Each structure stands twice: as structure tokens, then as C-alpha cells.
Amino acid sequence: MYSVSELKSLFDTYVESQKFRDEPVNLFEPMNYILELGGKRLRPVIALMSFNIFCNEVEKALPMAFSLELFHNFTLAHDDIMDNADLRRGKPTMHAKYSVNTGILSGDAMMMYAFHYLNLSSSDDRIQRKLNSLFTRTAIEVCVGQQMDMDFESMQQVELDNYLLMIKYKTAVLLAGCLQTGAILSNAADSDADALYEFGINLGLAFQIQDDLLDLYSDHSFGKVRGGDILQNKKTYLYLTALEEADQVTKQKLLTLYQTKTLSDQDKVNEVENIFNQLNVKKLAEKAVQKYTEASFVQLNILSVSADRLKVLRSLAEELLQRTY
Amino acid sequence: MYSVSELKSLFDTYVESQKFRDEPVNLFEPMNYILELGGKRLRPVIALMSFNIFCNEVEKALPMAFSLELFHNFTLAHDDIMDNADLRRGKPTMHAKYSVNTGILSGDAMMMYAFHYLNLSSSDDRIQRKLNSLFTRTAIEVCVGQQMDMDFESMQQVELDNYLLMIKYKTAVLLAGCLQTGAILSNAADSDADALYEFGINLGLAFQIQDDLLDLYSDHSFGKVRGGDILQNKKTYLYLTALEEADQVTKQKLLTLYQTKTLSDQDKVNEVENIFNQLNVKKLAEKAVQKYTEASFVQLNILSVSADRLKVLRSLAEELLQRTY
């Protein structure tokens, strides 16, 4: 079996070997730009890892993995326009470097190429059909997640359950889809493919809540602003838990804090954090991470493969979840 | 066999019967809005017509036809943002009515649903694979066409051959793809499906050049501005032919006219038209329409079906091309 870094390296080499058309340059050059920004390439690596649980010929899964990476980058290109984000991994986003029109159209073209590579995934027509169906459903759900996220921005309060639904669609289904895609492509049993999907959903939820925790409680020695989510008035798991736990007076105080423009950044973060502490929010969020993590590992135990073949996946998951404060 | 209006009516009924999800409203309501604007629904009707040449059970082709209509509407939603167009068929475009973000995201979701309905097209895995492959290639080419069109805007001169390539990708390949899709779905012979594709390419080119002609030479009694393309400095077949035919002095005069801001609209159109007349541009464009029309009808004669079954398609094509001046 391959290690994470071996899979990443196989994938990187494959991506470099692929060429889009040469013309029109203004359509394809931006696609190469955003792909070369690289990043962790977590999704394709996870898909390859899932495939590798059932089959050693990982190179067969490279077009499928590339399809998933293209899809992910398409969502980044369009989300960055919608979110007005000019930087990603310290570099200009696609629309910031080129133009909004480029962000839209080269984004669209990446989506089309995602389907192109998806169509090259399997020589077995039955498996190919399953992959297309899963991919399309996942893509629709990711759009739903992005819309929910945008809708939440203009709402004063959001139910915690709706927040979980949003992060499920916006983040977890793609992770889960990568895992299930790898399993389907390897011709694994449906029950195994389904268990890996559920593993991904729970892992994704745990990961996202962890992310919310880290924003406030991690050691921000690397230049990231502590409490950035609070300063952006983001409706995180912490904030929404606080609203659910608070009495009327505290709740009103928190709502007001999220609207205030008179406090310094530092004071605002501290005051919100005080309320969070009062309401035991950190503990509650940690419990949620724990719950979803356990639920994800339960799925791994269901799988009809030896524990040995799950080691790599298990340790990647642990690594993802144990990013320290 | 079904008439055009019967196919249109079957299709309209099918579209009305289809429901996207209910939530989030902000994602799906705009999709219903743009679909309800309706329009001619030329592409799905042509796809059904092509299917109907080989098979009478047209209802089997409705998901495929809907897929093509969704794809077309997705391109409209995104193109309207890129082209800064606020009106379509007299109604606000998607981004004008809602927001640019909605135009992007609901556009994306329409694209995903196009693939969703495409995946429902055939119960035969082999046919389904062919459809997916054709659809994806066509979608990529449509992006290429839109990029070429945008690139041309900032270029002073464009080769006529490049213009033909642009309208091929931007318009003709989708028309051709609809025809080929219908044939593939009906399990027609590859040679027939290919001939219908070529029929569509040539018809599309003829149609687009005809469109350029009509802008200047038709009877504009219905409120459309005569010479609108000239006023927008659009690089049409007429303009690019004129540049190719002109001597240096006339060419310079035409280039200058396209940059001038001092002439009245009426004078600008008249002066450009004078140059066109001098250079016999109308005749040349009409000859091109004639050439592509004939090339398209040659393809119909190749088909292995009785002339009888081609009547509807042939008369629709004639109707499309013989829009009078």
C-alpha cells in the first residue's frame, strides 16, 4: 500500500503530465495557475487512499482523482468571487489575478474538465454510471451548501442543526464523495463504499467544528489573527452553541456584540470569548468533535477489509483531527 | 411522427412536471425563473426531433432534452453576467433580477442538474457513456467559444476563419450536439448520428451568418434598431468580410468608423453600409449562408432513413434559414 506522501507525489506527477488545450490562452492559463497553487490536494489523495484499500493499481484511479481536484478548484474559483476573497494560500485568487469574467468562465471550464476526467475513470460502463451519479449528486449538494452559507450571512440567528446541514453540504459531502468514489472505482462492495461515505461525512463534520475551535483557541503564532471568525461576525459552531445555551440577557449581549462597531478588535474577541467561557462553549464543541470522530471510526470497523489496510486512512484522519491548539 | 409544436408542447409539459429541491429557495427559485422565461426551446425540440427520426417513443428522450435546455440556460445565466446584459427576451436577466452571486451559483446548479438529467437519459450503460462523452466535449467547446468571443472584443481585427471557429464553438456545436444526442439515444447507427452532427454544424454556421445579415438588412419594423451590431462595433461576418475585401484606404476608413464617437447613429450605420455595398459584402455573406445551408442538406441525404422521416427537420431548418429580410 502507498503512504500519503507517495500518493500525493503520484498525483502531482499525473497532474503535471496533463495538458488542457493550448487555445484560447485566456481560458486555460488561469486554470493552470490555480492548479499550480497546489495546496494540500487532500481530496484526490483521500480518493486514491480509499481506492488503495481495495486495489493496489492506484494509477488506474488517477483520472478520477484529478476530476475531484478539478471540481474542488472550480468551487474555489466561484466561491472566491461570491465571498469577495482576493487571496488564497497567500496568492491572488483567480478573479483577483485576472478578472471576474475569467473567474466565472475558467471556473466553468474546470467544471467541464472535471466531468471529462470523470468520464475517463472506468472502462466498466456500470461502474462509470455509478460514479457519474454520485459525482452529480455531490456537486448539487455542494452548491446547496454554498447557498446556505451565503443565506446565513444575512440571518441574525441560525439553528445549530441547520449549521450542521450547511457544513455537511459545503464540506463533508465532497470528502465523503471522494472516499466513496475511490471505493466504487475499485469495485468494492456497496456496503464498504457506503461505510466509507459515512466515515467521510462524520470526519468532515468533526473537522469543520475543529476548525471553528482552532480559530479562537489555537496558538496563533503563525500570523493568523486569533478570533478572526468573531471579527468577521461568522456564525460558527461556537457562536451558535452559545446562542442556544444562553439566557435571554446573555443572548442579547452576544447579538449586540456581533453588531457593534465601537469596540477594538481585541476587546471584541475578549468579550465574546468571555461569554463563550461562561457558557462552556469550548467544552461543548470539543464534545461534538469527539462525537463525530467516534461516529466516523465506527464506520471503519464495519468495513470488510483487514485493519492493516486501513492504517493509512486512519492515521490521516487522526492527523486531520488532532491539529493541536 | 411528431410536429414541431407537438414536441414543444410535450417538452413544456415535462419541464413543468419537474421539481428541483424546495430548499434553499434562493438557489432554486432563480432557476425556475429563467426556465419559465421559456423562449423557443429550440435546442431540446431539435434533440427530440432527431430522436424521433429513429424512434417514435419520444417521451423516453425527455430527460435528455431537459438536460440540454438546462445546459443552454446555464450558459445564458453566466454569459449575461460576462456580457453585462440586463435584459433577455424583454425580462431582467438572472443576475439583474437577483444578484451576480445568484447568477453564478444558480447558474452552476443548473449545470449540475443538466448532468443529473443527462445521467437519467438511457438505461443502456453503453449509450449513456457515449452521451456523457459527447455532452462534456460540447460543454468544453461552448466555453472555448465564449472565451474567443470575449477575446475578439479587445482585438482590432479578427481573421474570418477565426470568426467562423468562434461561432462554430459558441453556437453550432450545441445545435449539432443536440442532434447527435437525439440520434445516439435512439440507438441510431454511428454514421447517422455523425451526419446529423455535421448537419447541425453547418446549419449553425449558416444561421449565425444569416443573423449578422438580418441585423442590417432586415425590415426592422418591430422596434429593433437597424445596424445594432455596427453601433456596438461588433465584429460580424459582414464587417470582417469587408476588412478582408477592402483596399488599404477603405480598410482604414472602416477601422476609423468603428472607433468614431462623433457621428450620429444613423450616419454611422449609413457610412458603414456604404462601404459594405461598395465591397459587395451582402452578396458574399449570402453566398456563405448558401454554402453552409447546402452543406447541411447534403448531410441529410447521407442518412439511412426515408426522406419522409426527415420532413419535419428539413422544414424547421428551412424556416430557421429563410427568415426574410
CA distance B296 to B194: 12
pLDDT band at B50 (very low <50, low <70, confident <90, very high): very high
Q: Which of residues 25-54 of A touch B (CB under 8 A)?
A: 26-27
The beta-carbon neighbor of A115 closest among B100, B115, B128 is B115
Is any Cβ of chain B less than 8 angstroms from the Cβ of A21?
yes
Q: Give the pLDDT of residue B221.
A: 59
HEC profile of B101-165: HHHHHHHHHHHHHHHHHHHCCCCCHHHHHHHHHHHHHHHHHHHHHHHHHHHHHCCCCCCHHHHHH
Q: Taking CB atoms and an 8 Å cutoff, what residues of chain A touch B72?
A: none
Mean pLDDT, chain B, rounded, equals 94
Q: Taking CB atoms and an 8 Å cutoff, what residues of chain A touch B113?
A: 140
| Interface touch B129/A111, C-beta < 8 Å | no
Q: Taking CB atoms and an 8 Å cutoff, what residues of chain A touch B151?
A: 24, 26
The beta-carbon neighbor of B104 closest among A104, A132, A151 is A104
Is any Cβ of chain A less than 8 angstroms from the Cβ of B245?
no
Q: Give the pLDDT of residue B31.
A: 96
| Interface touch B148/A24, C-beta < 8 Å | yes
The beta-carbon neighbor of A101 closest among B132, B133, B150 is B150
* pLDDT tens figures, B258-312: 988 899 999 999 999 999 999 999 999 999 999 999 999 999 999 999 999 999 9
Q: Give the pLDDT of residue B260.
A: 87
Q: Give the pLDDT of residue B9.
A: 96
Is any Cβ of chain A less than 8 angstroms from the Cβ of B99?
no
Q: Taking CB atoms and an 8 Å cutoff, what residues of chain B touch A23?
A: 144
Cell numbers for A250? 446573555
Q: Taking CB atoms and an 8 Å cutoff, what residues of chain B touch A151?
A: 24, 26
Q: Give the pLDDT of residue B322.
A: 79
Q: Give the pLDDT of residue A111.
A: 98
Is any Cβ of chain B less than 8 angstroms from the Cβ of A120?
no
The beta-carbon neighbor of A109 closest among B126, B140, B150 is B140
Residue B117 confidence (pLDDT) above 60: yes
Q: Taking CB atoms and an 8 Å cutoff, what residues of chain B touch A128?
A: 125, 129, 132
Is any Cβ of chain A less than 8 angstroms from the Cβ of B136?
yes
Give the count of Cβ contacts less than 8 A between chain A and B.
113
A26, A27, A67, A118: which to substitute to probe chain B, counting the most B Cβ within 10 Å? Answer: A27
* pLDDT tens figures, A270-285: 999 999 999 999 999 9
Residue B54 confidence (pLDDT) above 60: yes
Chain A closest CA to B273's CA: distance in Å?
A: 32
pLDDT band at B37 (very low <50, low <70, confident <90, very high): confident
Higher-confidence residue of A292 and B39: namely A292
Q: Taking CB atoms and an 8 Å cutoff, what residues of chain B touch A130?
A: none
Cell numbers for B92? 431582467
* pLDDT tens figures, B187-205: 999 999 999 999 999 999 9
Q: Is residue B109 a contact partner of residue B29, using CB atoms and an 8 Å limit?
A: no
Is any Cβ of chain B less than 8 angstroms from the Cβ of A307?
no
CB atoms within 10 A of CB A120: 16
* pLDDT tens figures, B128-155: 999 999 999 999 999 999 999 999 988 9
Higher-confidence residue of B213 and A325: namely B213
Q: Taking CB atoms and an 8 Å cutoff, what residues of chain A touch B82?
A: 101, 104-105
| Interface touch A144/B81, C-beta < 8 Å | no
Is any Cβ of chain B less than 8 angstroms from the Cβ of A136?
yes
Percent of chain B at pLDDT exceeding 90: 87
Chain B closest CA to A218's CA: distance in Å?
A: 33
- pTM score, whole prediction: 0.95
* pLDDT tens figures, B67-83: 999 999 999 999 999 99
| Interface touch A140/B81, C-beta < 8 Å | no
Which residues are within 8 A (CB) of B148 and not within 5 positions of it... i.e. 6 or more apart? A24, B162, B165, B166, B169, B170
Q: What is the mean pLDDT of residues B227-243?
A: 93
Q: Taking CB atoms and an 8 Å cutoff, what residues of chain B touch A146?
A: 105
The beta-carbon neighbor of A143 closest among B23, B108, B146 is B108
Residue B102 confidence (pLDDT) above 90: yes
Higher-confidence residue of B325 and A208: namely A208
| Interface touch B129/A133, C-beta < 8 Å | no
A112, A117, A118, A168: which to substitute to probe chain B, counting the most B Cβ within 10 Å? Answer: A112
Q: Give the pLDDT of residue A51.
A: 98
Q: Taking CB atoms and an 8 Å cutoff, what residues of chain B touch A139?
A: 112, 115
For chain A, the straight-line distance linking the first and the last C-alpha, in angstroms and rounded, comes to 32
Please state, in angstroms and as integers, the Cα–Cα distance from residue A171 to each residue in A143, A179, A211, following that order: 11, 13, 12
| Interface touch A112/B143, C-beta < 8 Å | yes
Residue B325 confidence (pLDDT) above 60: no
Q: Give the pLDDT of residue A220.
A: 64
Is any Cβ of chain A less than 8 angstroms from the Cβ of B56?
no
Q: Which regions of chain A are under pLDDT 50? A: none
Is any Cβ of chain B less than 8 angstroms from the Cβ of A105?
yes
